[in-house]
Chains A and B, each alone.
Chain A
Amino acid sequence: MSIDIKTTKIEPRRVTFEHIAEKLGEGKTPSRYQEVMFGLQHEEVFHYRPTWDPGHEIFDADRTAVNMGDYEDLLDPRRYYYGTYVIQRSRQQESLEKNFAAVEKRGLLNALDASLIEKIRKVVIPFRHVEWGANNNNLFIAAYGFGTPITVAADFQGMDRLGNAQYITRIGLILSNNDPAILDQAKSEWLDEPMWQPLRKVIEDSFVIKDWFELHVLQNYLIDGIFHPLLFQHFDDEVVANGGASFAMVTEFFVDWFAESMRWADSTIKTAVKESDENRALIGGWIEKWLPVVSQAAEPLAGFIFADRSSEVLERISDQLAARTGKIGISARAA
């Protein structure tokens, strides 16, 4: 039997869950984002120490040196929860799919100048491994980070990077008419070509970092902050300027993706910096330690792409990053 609601007076007993009312103030209705960010991570009464890390609880604030009064302050400015995240990405993939279809149908990429294709092959295709490394690192943050907002967003970031790596793989297969040899070739260059080794070393070194916030700064702020503009802004422009407009069609997603991922990285790091002078010093220290390493890793690649323009391009990229760093509340610059 279904009840005729027009005749029934229904008074809610409360607006939201108790822990959310305490956080937002009585009577405030939370957004769907807030409902699934607050109070979800288990806080106390852990029954067993992890056999893989007996020095910590399963969820433990001490896995980073960054101290927050409330780790749930590390919110995502995009306010993604699962539903809004997959819906946004599905819209983007739909439009990218159209671009890929157009490019494939008319053979647009393969029609590019051979030297341009060769450059894309040497610069962009091995970059799928960099994205895969970023997948690995963000899964680490999702697993061992503290608090729901940062771990949920890192999980999205991790899956995004798998998506990026897969889109690059598709670009490679278009260029090679589906011959996987192009990917094998790119992998062996990634493993052995001197141009890639400094970057591969930073990434492998990042795989053994145990402090998840340091890893967040290194991966999502510094490595991305230098290499994404290098490839998908400056190199992209270069290809387009040489008649490769179709290349921009298949890299469109990376540009949009980086713009929003940057907002998340900046905002979470800024929140931690604002929390205390100790956090500021700590994060400033990480930037000081890693920025020169990452910047140097970009030099051979920039040299290969831009030849004598390379220091000018790198200068612009580091200015852009320095401006972001200033806004975050830290004054650090590559030595």
Chain B
Amino acid sequence: MAEKPKRLNLNQKYQLMTRGLDWETTYQSMDEVFPYDRYEGIKIKDWDKWQDPFRLTMDAYWKYQAEKERKLYAILDSVAQNNSQLNISDGRYMNAVKIWMQGVTPLEYAAFRGFAMLGRGFRGAGARVACQFQSIDEMRHYQTQVHAFSHYNKYFNGFNQYSRIRDRAWYLSIPKSYFEDAVSAGPFELITAISFSFEYVLTNLLFMPFVSGAAYNGDMATTTFGFSAQSDESRHMTLGLEIIKFMLEQHEDNLPIVQEWLDKWFWRGYRLLGLVGTMMDYMLPKKVMSWRQAWEIYWEDNGMALFNDLARYGLRPPKHHEAATKEKYRITHEFWSTIYQFSHATALYTWIPTTEELDWLSAEYGELFDTVYRPRYEYWQELHEKGERFFQKRLPVVCNVCQIPIFHTMPDDPLMNCCLVSEYKGTKHQMCSQGCLDIFNREPEKYCQAYIPPQQIYQGNCGGASLEDYRKWLHIKDEETGEYYGSEDHVMWEQWQAQAAKPTGVAPAS
């Protein structure tokens, strides 16, 4: 007669299934086996104190994720079969999705590889396993996105050459340099940058506009993969919070390092999100909420509450967050004005918002919008109607850190341009803000390596010195770029609308 099995609690069992597998190596030193997890100066006294942020064994993971994938692919198949792209709010909307595929999907890929590095790199087995789940999740994200957008690519421009422009295009070096900054750092900084600063602190500012925006605008494919990724993201967020607590509880010397990282990655993430905010204010024909409102809810309320909580670990809110809040009334308008003038050097279309949309922006942004940005748009609209659509002839100067064109203004003066210079080894480097300047000055050796596309173009390293040569080097055809109205996407969209409006001659079933 077999004796009755003992009961193991979930936590014990999970430990046996993960870190219980691990051992201290003796034939090779642990420092040789895990060569990268000490050079950043983070001190870990006892990896056993790591609290597993989630407890998933492989069998459960396979099961849950397979259920999610079955549902997701059933919907992607039906989107393709039913031509659901016809149900989006307007042809302009698709440009938001192009930004996602050009700028965000490549980051999901890089996250897959980066988290594999962490899944191999930390000497604590509990942390390693948690990062391995994130690695394979991020692989899921890049793959489901490619599969979702593959259908849109058949009809709309701007998806076709995503693999080429990802590395080359000046405006995509904003997200690319952001992620490469994190992956080229050590493992603790990488996980702080992505799992905490981005996924925990700022993720709602990305998720809410994109996924809710997709739902509002009739985009089934994006809505579906977005919501399906949400349960993965909640795992990543708990991992982000755990790593911060863990570092701070392990050794007091870790606090100043972590604080500097939070300062840096808040600003880096905030700058990147400017692109997302612009998308939500300008590219969504049906609005979810304005950037200003999102910033108030997700940063000023939720973000600050989080940092109040973290005060007990000795952390303070990230440097320059006040400047970010001051910019909330203008950042997206400054950004859209820039993309509008340079969209002939992108695989995106841009446009002047309709009167109704301008009214919405006036209501959301008030006086500053009405005095500064609206008149500018109305002027450009007049030019366009006269057949003189306004484009810049040269690419803009970009910030040496965030790589965004230097269009930003002073925190306390929205009419005064901000361009700060740092000289390093005899070369002058321009930055868009005090936040980026601080980042540069902390690691000049890193940022002076940055590949600054406009400089490279004019040095002739990108197919030639003219914008036309550059565009060719990017594999972007003339008709895939510039003004939306009159573009191939617009013409196609109008044809679909016209066909849909035609009476079919068949009485609808009553």
Q: Are A83 and B504 in contact, CB atoms less than 8 angstroms apart?
A: no
Q: Are A82 and B8 in contact, CB atoms less than 8 angstroms apart?
A: no
A46-84 vs B, CB cutoff 8 Å, 1 = contact: the mask equals 111111100000110000000000000000000001110
The size bracket of the interface on B is 35 or more
Interface of chain A, helix or strand or loop or mixed? helix
Does A114 have its Cβ within 8 Å of any Cβ on chain B? Answer: no
Q: Are B62 and A89 in contact, CB atoms less than 8 angstroms apart?
A: yes
Q: Are A42 and B106 in contact, CB atoms less than 8 angstroms apart?
A: yes
Complex CA distance for A178 and B140, rounded to whole angstroms: 34
Q: Which residues of A contact B106 (CB under 8 A)?
A: 40, 42
Q: Are B6 and A208 in contact, CB atoms less than 8 angstroms apart?
A: no
Q: Are B184 and A139 in contact, CB atoms less than 8 angstroms apart?
A: no
Q: Which residues of A contact B157 (CB under 8 A)?
A: 13
- Other-chain residue from B32, B39, B173, B492 in contact with A45 (beta carbon distance below 8 A): B173
Q: Which residues of B contact A331 (CB under 8 A)?
A: none
Distance (whole angstroms) from the CB of A121 to the closest CB of chain B = 15
Q: Are B63 and A94 in contact, CB atoms less than 8 angstroms apart?
A: yes
Q: Are A47 and B116 in contact, CB atoms less than 8 angstroms apart?
A: no
Q: Are B57 and A166 in contact, CB atoms less than 8 angstroms apart?
A: yes
Q: Which residues of B contact A320 (CB under 8 A)?
A: none
Q: Are B112 and A155 in contact, CB atoms less than 8 angstroms apart?
A: yes
- Other-chain residue from B139, B181, B488 in contact with A47 (beta carbon distance below 8 A): B181
Does B113 have its Cβ within 8 Å of any Cβ on chain A? Answer: yes
Q: Which residues of A contact B507 (CB under 8 A)?
A: none
Does A233 have its Cβ within 8 Å of any Cβ on chain B? Answer: no
A47-B176 CB under 8 A given contacts A4-B504, A173-B8, A178-B7? yes
Does B93 have its Cβ within 8 Å of any Cβ on chain A? Answer: no
Does B371 have its Cβ within 8 Å of any Cβ on chain A? Answer: no
Distance (whole angstroms) from the CB of A130 to the closest CB of chain B = 10
A2-17 vs B, CB cutoff 8 Å, 1 = contact: the mask equals 1111111110111111
Does A284 have its Cβ within 8 Å of any Cβ on chain B? Answer: no
Does B321 have its Cβ within 8 Å of any Cβ on chain A? Answer: no
Complex CA distance for A179 and B72, rounded to whole angstroms: 41
Q: Are A83 and B496 in contact, CB atoms less than 8 angstroms apart?
A: no
Find residues 145-161 in chain B having any chain A CB closer than 8 Å to their own CB: 146-147, 150, 153-157, 159-161
Q: Are A51 and B83 in contact, CB atoms less than 8 angstroms apart?
A: no
Q: Are A158 and B132 in contact, CB atoms less than 8 angstroms apart?
A: yes
A45-B167 CB under 8 A given contacts A81-B143, A205-B27? yes
Complex CA distance for A49 and B128, rounded to whole angstroms: 24
Does B164 have its Cβ within 8 Å of any Cβ on chain A? Answer: yes
Complex CA distance for A83 and B162, rounded to whole angstroms: 22
Binding-face segment, A140-148, A261-269, A302-310: A140-148
Does A280 have its Cβ within 8 Å of any Cβ on chain B? Answer: no
- Other-chain residue from B6, B83, B112, B139 in contact with A179 (beta carbon distance below 8 A): B6
Complex CA distance for A86 and B62, rounded to whole angstroms: 5
- Other-chain residue from A9, A45, A148, A178 in contact with B6 (beta carbon distance below 8 A): A178
Does B297 have its Cβ within 8 Å of any Cβ on chain A? Answer: no
Binding-face segment, B15-23, B301-309, B388-396: B15-23
Complex CA distance for A15 and B80, rounded to whole angstroms: 13
Q: Are A208 and B32 in contact, CB atoms less than 8 angstroms apart?
A: yes
A40-B147 CB under 8 A given contacts A136-B120, A143-B113? no
Q: Are B496 and A8 in contact, CB atoms less than 8 angstroms apart?
A: yes
- Other-chain residue from A16, A59, A169 in contact with B16 (beta carbon distance below 8 A): A169
Q: Which residues of B contact A89 (CB under 8 A)?
A: 58, 62, 66
Q: Which residues of B contact A132 (CB under 8 A)?
A: 21-22
Q: Which residues of A contact B313 (CB under 8 A)?
A: none
Complex CA distance for A200 and B112, rounded to whole angstroms: 29
Complex CA distance for A46 and B184, rounded to whole angstroms: 10
Q: Are A129 and B167 in contact, CB atoms less than 8 angstroms apart?
A: no
- Other-chain residue from A152, A201, A207 in contact with B33 (beta carbon distance below 8 A): A207
Does B69 have its Cβ within 8 Å of any Cβ on chain A? Answer: yes
- Other-chain residue from B12, B23, B154, B184 in contact with A58 (beta carbon distance below 8 A): B184
Find residues 94-128 in chain B having any chain A CB closer than 8 Å to their own CB: 106, 109-110, 112-113, 116-117, 119-121, 128
Distance (whole angstroms) from the CB of B26 to the closest CB of chain A = 7
Does A118 have its Cβ within 8 Å of any Cβ on chain B? Answer: no
- Other-chain residue from A14, A51, A90 in contact with B154 (beta carbon distance below 8 A): A14
Complex CA distance for A193 and B184, rounded to whole angstroms: 41
Complex CA distance for A59 and B109, rounded to whole angstroms: 12
A13-B27 CB under 8 A given contacts A45-B167, A166-B17? no
Q: Which residues of A contact B180 (CB under 8 A)?
A: 46-48, 58
Q: Are B184 and A51 in contact, CB atoms less than 8 angstroms apart?
A: yes
Interface of chain B, helix or strand or loop or mixed? helix
A183-B16 CB under 8 A given contacts A35-B146, A107-B2, A204-B27? yes
Find residues 149-174 in chain A having any chain B CB closer than 8 Å to their own CB: 151-152, 155-156, 158-160, 162-163, 165-167, 169, 173
Q: Are B5 and A50 in contact, CB atoms less than 8 angstroms apart?
A: no
Q: How many residues of A contact B (CB 8 A)?
A: 92
Complex CA distance for A162 and B117, rounded to whole angstroms: 16
Does B65 have its Cβ within 8 Å of any Cβ on chain A? Answer: yes
Q: Are B16 and A52 in contact, CB atoms less than 8 angstroms apart?
A: no
Q: Which residues of B contact A35 (CB under 8 A)?
A: 146-147, 150
In the complex, which of the residues A12, A82, A201 has the most CB atoms of chain B within 10 Å of its own CB atom? A82
Q: Are B446 and A48 in contact, CB atoms less than 8 angstroms apart?
A: yes
Does B427 have its Cβ within 8 Å of any Cβ on chain A? Answer: no
Q: Are A6 and B504 in contact, CB atoms less than 8 angstroms apart?
A: yes
Q: Are A144 and B117 in contact, CB atoms less than 8 angstroms apart?
A: yes
Does B355 have its Cβ within 8 Å of any Cβ on chain A? Answer: no
Does A296 have its Cβ within 8 Å of any Cβ on chain B? Answer: no
Does B312 have its Cβ within 8 Å of any Cβ on chain A? Answer: no
Distance (whole angstroms) from the CB of B368 to the closest CB of chain A = 34
Q: Which residues of A contact B453 (CB under 8 A)?
A: 45
Q: Are A14 and B160 in contact, CB atoms less than 8 angstroms apart?
A: yes
A7-B504 CB under 8 A given contacts A158-B119, A163-B58, A179-B6? yes
Q: Are A13 and B62 in contact, CB atoms less than 8 angstroms apart?
A: no
Interface contacts beyond A7-B500, A51-B186, A58-B180: sample of 7 additional A-B pairs, CB < 8 Å, sorted by A: A17-B153, A19-B164, A48-B181, A159-B132, A160-B58, A178-B8, A204-B33
Residues of A within 8 A of B (CB): 2-10, 12-19, 32, 35-36, 38-52, 58-59, 81-83, 86-87, 89-91, 93-94, 96-97, 107, 110-111, 128-129, 131-132, 135-136, 139-140, 142-144, 148, 151-152, 155-156, 158-160, 162-163, 165-167, 169, 173, 177-180, 183, 187, 190-191, 200-201, 204-205, 207-208
Residues of B within 8 A of A (CB): 2-8, 12, 16-18, 20-23, 25-28, 32-33, 35-36, 39, 57-59, 61-63, 65-67, 69-70, 72-73, 82-83, 86-87, 106, 109-110, 112-113, 116-117, 119-121, 128-129, 132, 135-136, 139-140, 142-144, 146-147, 150, 153-157, 159-164, 166-168, 173, 176-177, 180-181, 183-187, 446-447, 449-451, 453, 475, 488, 492, 496, 499-500, 502, 504
Q: Can you show 30 pairs from A to B with CB atoms below 8 A apart? A: A4-B500, A5-B82, A7-B504, A17-B159, A35-B147, A41-B113, A42-B109, A47-B173, A47-B451, A51-B186, A52-B186, A83-B69, A90-B62, A90-B63, A90-B65, A93-B63, A94-B63, A139-B116, A139-B119, A139-B135, A142-B116, A142-B120, A142-B135, A143-B121, A162-B132, A169-B17, A177-B3, A177-B6, A191-B23, A201-B27
